[in-house]
Amino acid sequence: MTLSLFFIQLLNGLQLGVLLFMLSAGLTLVFGIMNFVNLAHGCLYMMGAYFAATVYAATDSFVAAGVAAVVGGGVMAALVEWVVARPLYTRDHLDHVLATFGLILFFNELARWVWGASPSYMNVPPALSGTLDILGVMYPIYRFAIISAGLLAALGCYLLIAKTRVGMLIRAGSLNPTMVAALGVNIRLLNALVFSLGGALAGLAGLMSSPILSVQPGMGEPILILVMIVIVIGGIGSVQGAFYAALMVGVIDTAGRAFLPLLLREFIDRSSAQAAGPAIASMLTCIFMATVLALRPQGLFPVKNA
Amino acid sequence: MTRQNTAPLQTHALVKRYGGLLATDHVSLTLAPGELHAIIGPNGAGKTTLIGQLGGELRPDSGDVLLQGECVTHLPAAERALRGLARSYQISSVFPEFTVLECVALAKQAHAGHSFGAWRALLQRTHLVDPAEHAIAQAGLSHRITQRVSDLAHGERRQLELAMVLVGQPKVLLLDEPMAGMSHQESMKVVDLLAALKGDYTLLLVEHDMQAVFALADTISVLVNGAIIASGKPEEIRQHPDVRTAYLGDEELPE
Amino acid sequence: MKYRLSFAITVVVLLALAVLPVYARWVEEPFLLTFLTRALVLALAALSLNIVLGFGGLVSFGHALYLGLGAYSVGILASHGVDNGALQLLIIVVLCALVGLTTGWVSLRTSGIGFIMITLAFAQMFFYLFVSLKQYGGDDGLSISLRSQLLGLDMGAPLTLYYTAFACVLAVVVWTQHMVHAPFGMVLQAIRMNERRMNALGFHTLRYKLSAYVLSCVIAGVAGFLYANLTGYTSPAYLKWPLSGELIVMVVLGGMGTVLGPLVGALALLVCEEVLKGFTEHWPIILGPFIVLVVLLARRGLYGLALDWDARQAARRASRGASA
């Protein structure tokens, strides 16, 4: 196990981490402010990926694909908020779960119908292909671009939430939603904005993922579950918590999948290690979550409620 | 070994901070057996926080709560309830889908050992239903015994709260604004009920209704900004200069 | 007669379920029997979920996990030649109890949104685990050639399996009917209505929530046992979230927190799906919005609406009687 291999996996973990952050930032705000369990968030990611792949195939322009994914994600999110979420804010979580479950069925089948059941692919844009020398290792430029995009998105979120008036309202909303509404803030607009922002970020994540993952119906749910783990570990409603938790989960998951089989081979035979490795690796994030919850049920960076 | 004169409820220098705010400032209280001890104070004085620490929902940052001489500071609310501490809530906190009888029988069930029985109905258990009917009668709610809670008037729900609190034969009752939102007539009924309970039970009453407080209380403690600024018999409190200052503009103390 | 419409529904449903298999045999429609068995097995899982969701108010989005554990227990044991149904069930009960206890304890550390997400995460974790068990089929699943022999009954015989499932469903329904009015059920429902108050009254609420959860996990495991014997197959797909979601839909569609609701819901949903599948291969596009509509408009569920109807009729009769 060389140092460069370790470094590459660390970068891969970082890449997964920022992807998870892009998906969890919006979702944790929706959980924290509107107290709405949006299981359909993964669908926004999937639609973003499909929009990106389709537009890219038609125009060969990564920028156009990007716009399609981000705007598409935002618009879809706004629609979902208007049609499904808004009537259900006052209802309990079960209703949210059921309604968004229905949405998942709808969106996945829609994707299957429009784009077919077999995976679509998007090529890495030529401008971002090739490898880059980072501290002595050759790392794909595109993956590095993902990391950069993710960190930029995180910076953007930070600036928005900490430095703007809208951000202040969002922060206030996550601490005390009823108070913000009572103060006469246009809570409908704020909710729609938060939802759309989450959708846009999910679309961005979809865009960035398409060249490296296969775009297919149902791609949203496996990553959504990882996103939920991130949110629980970070603290529901906390974007800051989502950032750190996303990076942690990204690194743990990637490093676990890469190194656990190697580690196990030291102790047991190769074929068993090959089988057990991925199994245990996929359980690592869950075990991590369970440990965090056992010690700190409110998450690592909880939003302190008024 | 029981000490006959052990205070039913006592606190030693309770402190609770919320960030920079000192919500409970070294509060020490001692209740005498059978007395009705009222806590009054302006809004925001920290009465709810104090009751939370007495009941077990909040942990103090320092200080102790003693129930019958036993230190219960680190015990959760459920454990304190089983040791004889009962609490009623400011906002009616009952079970909307159940009937009056079911609510009170359930409250009795808490003291009847484990609740894993899954075959014989709750209301078929006479050791629960009989005390429940008695407590409901004590609270003056017998005529509504089969009504669903969701059909009860506000004042009746408060009576139900009291029945639920009484059925467990508690040693100490914590009553958090039992007369909140009641009409004058309804308040009078509750005052009579509480007066009848004094002596058999020890009561800690948090209330804003000054007429009720001065009619019922054996001892009054005044809580301002988290600290007890005065504590004594009603006549002493009435004359106390600090109390008058604290209440200027907030409440009128009855003459 | 105290209950009218709901009682009628109960009688019709149970009678139909008792008699239809014989009819299916008579007209030689094996598909009907398979369909009904599947409905009963999933109804059993939904009934188990109702304990913790309908009465306890805990939204568990990972109940398919226990169905899967049950099915895999049968599959793995059968692949090693063990077909003793009683032994398989014993292992299932212990396994589901242990897993349920662990995941339940962790999940109950948070409540609300956290609970939903964690139960989902745990189910997904086991999904990956079974995918990685290549020696037991991995992603392709494991076929079960050796059906369970339960106390002399051959689970491979369709009618035997059906009536075993029916007996399980009846047992759970009858038990639930009693549980609802007994201390355990009352405590559970009260915790759902006002947990804070229950703590203040002296109940250690975690104990009861966890017990209800573990119990429902075990019953779902039994459903898995039956499911594996029905399909002759087990696969990681049995643990996937769509199945967990479908179970929740069954509970709510039928009537959450009612005794017979999940059974009615399971039958209704499966019939709906069959009808939709007949129309188009893209049936989830219709089912998805249908579920959304149910949530928005018919939240009480079919059996729940029947109970409401009965209550309204009773109130009307009472007021008419009073004014007469």
Residue C324 binned pLDDT confidence (cut-offs 50, 70, 90): low
Which of B87, B115, B121 comes nearest C200 by C-beta?
B87
- CB pair distance less than 8 Å for C245 and A221: no
Shared domain check, B154 and B176? no
Mutation target vs C (from A23, A105, A272; most C CBs, 10 A cutoff):
A105
Nearest to A10 by CA among A123, A143, A142, A175: A143
What is the pLDDT at residue C30? 85
pLDDT class of B242 with cuts at 50, 70, 90 = confident
* CATH level 3 topology of A3-295: ABC transporter involved in vitamin B12 uptake, BtuC (1.10.3470)
Give chain B's domain count.
2
A-C CB pairs within 8 A amount to: 134
- Neighbouring CB atoms inside 10 A of C213's CB total 26
Beta bridge partners of A240: none
Say if residue B93's pLDDT is above 70: no
Confidence of residue C1 (pLDDT cuts 50, 70, 90): very low
Which residues in chain C (77-106) have CB-CB distances under 8 A to chain B? Answer: none
Q: How far is B154 from chain C (nearest CA, A)?
A: 18
- Determine the distance in angstroms separating the CA of A31 from the nearest CA of chain C, rounded to an integer: 8
Who among C175, C178, C187 is closest to B115 (CB)? C187
Domain boundaries, chain C: 5-323
CA pair distance A10, B62, nearest whole angstrom = 45
CB contact under 8 A, A113 and C282: yes
| % of chain A with per-residue pLDDT over 70 | 97
What is residue B1's predicted lDDT score, i.e. its pLDDT?
Answer: 43
Name chain A's partners: 3 or more CB pairs within 8 A: C
Residues 105-134 of A with CB under 8 A from C: 105-110, 112-113
Longest dimension (CA), chain A: 66
Return d(Cα B152, Cα B136) in angstroms, integer.
14
Q: ipTM for the complex? A: 0.89
Phi, psi (deg, nearest 5) at residue B206: -100, 120
Q: Tens digits of per-residue pLDDT, A134-185? A: 777 888 888 888 999 999 999 998 888 888 888 888 888 777 777 877 887 7
Count of CB contacts below 8 A, B vs C?
A: 91
Least confidently predicted of A47-56, A200-209, C102-111: C102-111
Domain boundary among B145, B169, B193: B169
N- to C-terminal Cα separation, chain A: 49
Paired with B88 in beta bridges are B175
Interchain contact C205–B (C-beta under 8 A): yes
Q: How far is Cα C144 from Cα C146, in angstroms, rounded to an integer?
A: 6
Chain A residues inside the 8 Å CB shell of C256: 94
pLDDT digits (tens, 9 = 90+) for B166-178: 998 999 999 988 8
* Mutation for testing the A interface, residue in C102, C117, C195, C241 having most A CBs under 10 Å: C117
**Comparing A46 with A90, which gets the higher pLDDT?**
A46
Q: Which residue among C106, C241, C282 sits closest to A109, beta carbon to beta carbon?
A: C282
Instruction: Look at residues C249, C286, C241, C277 and name the one whose alpha carbon lies nearest to residue C265.
Output: C249
Cβ-nearest to A102 among C61, C117, C292: C292
Closest chain C residue to B107 measured between Cα atoms?
C201
Give the pLDDT confidence score for residue B253 in this predicted structure: 56
Shared domain for B20 and B130, answered yes or no, is no
* Residue B16 belongs to domain spanning: 1-84+172-255
Residue C248 to residue A101, Cβ atoms within 8 A = yes
In a domain? residue B91: no
Residues B153, B108 share a domain:
yes
CA dihedral A149, A153, A158, A161 (to 10 degrees): 170
Tell me the mean pLDDT in the region A104-124: 90
* A38-48: burial string, b at 16+ Cβ within 10 Å, e else: bbbbbbbbbbb
Report the C-alpha gap between A24 and A246 in whole angstroms: 8
Q: Phi/psi class of residue C155: alpha, beta or left (left: φ > 0; alpha: ψ in -120 to 50)?
A: alpha
Cβ count within 10 A of residue B184: 9
Residues C252-262, mean pLDDT to the nearest whole number? 93
| Residue among C125, C241, C292 whose CB faces A286 most closely | C125
Answer whether C201 touches B (CB < 8 Å). yes
Verify whether the Cβ–Cβ distance C125 to A283 is below 8 Å. yes
d(CA C40, CA C226): 9
Cβ-based contacts of C252 with chain A (< 8 Å): 94, 98
For the entire predicted model, the pTM comes to 0.89
For the cut 70, the answer to whether the pLDDT of residue A304 exceeds it is no
Are the beta carbons of B96 and C193 separated by less than 8 Å? yes
Q: Of chain C residues 6-45, which have a CB less than 8 A from chain A?
A: none
CB B218 within 8 A of CB B198: yes
At residue C323, the pLDDT reads 60
- Cα of B166 to nearest chain C Cα, Å: 11
Distances (CA, A) of A105 to A48, C253, C280, C292: 17, 16, 15, 11
* Amino acid B5: pLDDT: 58
Helix (H), strand (E), coil (C) string for A139-194: EEHHHHHHHHHHHHHHHHHHHHHHHCHHHHHHHHHHHCHHHHHHCCCCHHHHHHHH
Query: What is the CATH classification number for the domain harbouring B220?
Result: 3.40.50.300
Task: Report the residue of chain C nearest B56, measured CA to CA.
Answer: C200
Say yes or no: B176 and B77 in one domain. yes
Q: Do A98 and C295 touch (CB under 8 A)?
A: yes
Question: What average pLDDT does the segment A104-111 reach?
Answer: 94
Which pLDDT value is given to residue A305?
56
Q: In what order do the strands lie in the sheet with B70-71?
A: B21-30, B9-18, B62-67, B70-71
Selecting from A87, A98, A297 the residue whose C-beta is nearest the C-beta of C291 gives A98
Structure confidence at residue A306 (pLDDT): 41
Residues 190-219 of C with CB under 8 A from A: none
Residues 190-249 of A with CB under 8 A from C: 221-222, 225, 228-229, 231-232, 236
Please judge whether C114 and A236 are an interchain contact, meaning their C-beta atoms are less than 8 angstroms apart: yes
Nearest to C202 among B94, B102, B110 (CB): B110
Any B CB within 8 A of C197 CB: yes
Across chain A, mean pLDDT equals 87
- Average pLDDT for residues B133-160, to the nearest whole number? 89
- Given this model, what pLDDT does residue B159 score? 86
Contact of C171 with chain B, judged by CB distance below 8 Å, is answered with no
Confidence (pLDDT) at A281: 75
Which residue of A35, A80, A89, A98 to mutate against C (max C Cβ within 10 Å)?
A98
CB pair distance less than 8 Å for C201 and B107: yes
pLDDT of A223 > 60? The answer is yes
Where are any strands of DSSP class E within C45-129? none
Question: Is residue B134 located within the same domain as residue B246?
Answer: no
Distance CA C41, CA C266 (A): 9
Check residue B255 and give its pLDDT: 52
How far apart are the C-alpha atoms of C311 and B97, rounded to whole Å? 14
Q: CB of C190 within 8 Å of any CB in chain B?
A: yes
In chain B, what percentage of residues exceed pLDDT 70? 94
Is B191 a domain residue? yes
Confidence label for A280 from pLDDT (cuts 50, 70 and 90): confident
Nearest CA in chain B to C191: B95
Contact between C200 and B78 using a beta-carbon 8 Å cutoff: yes
Token digits of residue C4: 């009218």
Mean pLDDT on C206-235: 95
Percent of chain B with pLDDT over 90: 46
Q: What is the amino acid identity at position C133?
A: L
B133 and B76 inside one domain = no
Distance CA C98, CA C119 (A): 15
Nearest to B121 among C181, C187, C196 (CB): C181
User: How distant is the Cα of A60 from the closest Cα of chain C, in angstroms?
Assistant: 31
The per-residue pLDDT for C322 is: 67
Mean pLDDT score, A251-255: 90
Which residue on chain B is closest to C177 by alpha carbon?
B119
List chain A domain ranges.
3-295
pLDDT (mean) for B13-30:
89
Provide, as residue numbers in chain C, all residues whose Cβ is less than 8 Å from the Cβ of B98: 186, 189-190, 193
Q: Quick one: pLDDT at residue A297?
A: 83
**Mean pLDDT, residues C121-146:** 87
**Residues in contact with C322: Cβ distance below 8 Å, sequence separation at least 6, in sequence order:** none
Hey, what are A281's tokens? 């690796």
CATH code for residues C5-323: 1.10.3470
Query: Residue C182: which of B86, B110, B120 has the nearest Cβ?
Result: B120
Determine whether the interchain pair A93/C112 forms a contact, defined as Cβ–Cβ distance below 8 Å: yes
